[in-house]
Amino acid sequence: MLLLHGFPQTHAMWHAVAPVLARQFTVVAADLRGYGQSSKPEGTEPYSFRHMAADQLALMASLGFRQFHVVGHDRGGRTAHRLALDAPEALQSLTVMDIVPTHLLLDELSKDVAAAYYHWFFLAQPAPFPETLIGHDPDTYFESCLLGWGAARLADFDPAALDAYRQAWREPDTIRGMCADYRATLQLDFDLDAADLSQQVTAPALVLYGAQGAMAQAYDIPRTWQPRLTQVQARPIQGGHFFIDQNPGATADALLAFLTGV
C-alpha cells in the first residue's frame, strides 16, 4: 500500500494511520517530489502530477511491487488519480481524500471555492514572488493553511508531526518546490486532465472527505467522482480537510473496511 500526503505536509501525516494499516499490509509512505526529503528539481514542468505519479510508480517497482493499493490526500490524491489514469495495470485500488477532480475544480470555479482555495492561485504566481513572501515567515503562512480549510485547530496536529512539517517547509527549496507544484497544475495538469476526461478508473475506488471541510461545503463530493470512477464508494469522516490528523482512528477503520473487501 502506497500512502501519499498533501500540501503543506510530508509523509509524517500518516504517523497514526500507517501502524494500523501495517497490521494487514506492507505500507510505503513517500514524500512527493518537491516536498519533505524528496528531490526538488528546477523549473515547473517536472512538477506535473504525471511526473509525480511516475516517481511513485518507479518507487514501488524498485521495492518489488508491480501492483499495489494507493491512498492519497490532497495533492497526493491528485497524484494518485493521475497514476490510476497513466498506469491502471499497477492499481489494486484507489483512495482519494478530500478532493474533487482537478479539472472540475478549475473549470467550474466558484467564488466560494476561489476564496477558500486562494492558495492555488497565489502559489502559482511567477517566481520568486510567492517564495519571497512565504520565506519571510514560513511557519505563519503554512500554519494558516493547516487551519484554513475547515474545522481545524493547531492542537489537532500531533506535536512531532508539526515539527516535521516545520522543518520541511522552512527550507527554501521546499517552498520553491511547493510553488512549482501549483504552477504545474495551472500550466500543465489542467490540459492533461482535459485530454483524459473520457477515461475512467476501473479499479475499486474509495472517496473519503472531511464532513466539515471546505470541499464538502462547496460540492457533493461523491457525485463529482462518479463520472471518473466506475466502482466507487464514498464516506465522510468527522473533521475538516485534515481529518486524517483529527480523526486517525476513523480514517484507518474506513480504509480497512474498504481494502479488506477489495
Tell me phi and psi for residue 232, to 5 degrees: -125, 135
Find the catalytic residue in 31, 55, 74, 98: 74
Sign of torsion, CA 70 200 253 99? Answer: positive
CB 172 within 8 A of CB 131: yes
CB 81 within 8 A of CB 105: no
Q: What does the pLDDT look like over 6-51, one tens digit per residue?
A: 999 999 999 999 999 999 999 999 999 999 999 999 999 999 999 9
Is residue 74 annotated as a catalytic residue, yes or no? yes
Find the catalytic residue in 69, 73, 81, 241: 241
Is pLDDT above 90 for 77? yes
How many Å apart are CA 37 and CA 10, to the nearest integer? 8
Is residue 103 annotated as a catalytic residue, yes or no? no
Please provide the CATH number assigned to the domain covering 2-259: 3.40.50.1820
How many Å apart are CA 58 and CA 137, to the nearest integer? 35
Is pLDDT above 90 for 71? yes
Q: What does the pLDDT look like over 23-34, one tens digit per residue?
A: 999 999 999 999
Q: What does the pLDDT look like over 228-257, one tens digit per residue?
A: 999 999 999 999 999 999 999 999 999 999
This prediction's pTM: 0.98
- Averaged pLDDT of the chain: 97
How many Å apart are CA 204 and CA 233, to the nearest integer? 8
